[in-house]
Amino acid sequence: MIKLPVCPHCHTIFRYGDVKRIMYKRNAECYHCGKKFKVSRVKFLLLLLMIALVAAIIDAFELWIIASISFWTLLVTNIAVVVAGILVMPFFVRFCVIDK
């Protein structure tokens, strides 16, 4: 089950917009307790790999099975896969305690 990340200190659930804003930072601060934490991107990078893999599989399927496919159909399909992947990115970010 996918869910939005929580603060590792006070377990506050971050909102979708907040996660999108701090998703690319290395360290962030909780808006509730004020403590700093590390943004883990391992699952985020795996999601990017899955998006590329799904797009490649769909392209290969469309080109192999449907012989009369147009460029625009492939373009729309790839855009749909990328947009769907971008929309679920905040659900694949995790917050961890900073090791000292």
- In order along its 100 residues, the chain shows pLDDT tens digits of 688 999 999 999 999 999 999 988 889 999 999 999 999 878 878 888 888 898 888 888 888 887 777 888 888 888 998 898 889 888 888 999 987 6
pLDDT at 32: 92
Question: How many helices, marked H, and strands, marked E, lie in the chain?
Answer: 3, 3
Task: Please give the pLDDT value at position 100.
Answer: 67
| Structural domain count of the chain | 1
Distance in angstroms (rounded) separating the CA atoms of residues 79 and 2: 22
Q: Which amino acid is at 39?
A: V
Q: How many Å apart are CA 37 and CA 79, to the nearest integer?
A: 33
Q: Return the pLDDT at 95.
A: 92
Residue 1 lies in a domain: no
What pLDDT score was predicted for residue 10? 94
Domain assignment of residue 5, yes or no: no
* Residue 8, domain member (yes or no): no
Say what the pLDDT of residue 15 is: 94
For residue 67, give its domain range: 16-96
pLDDT of residue 1: 67
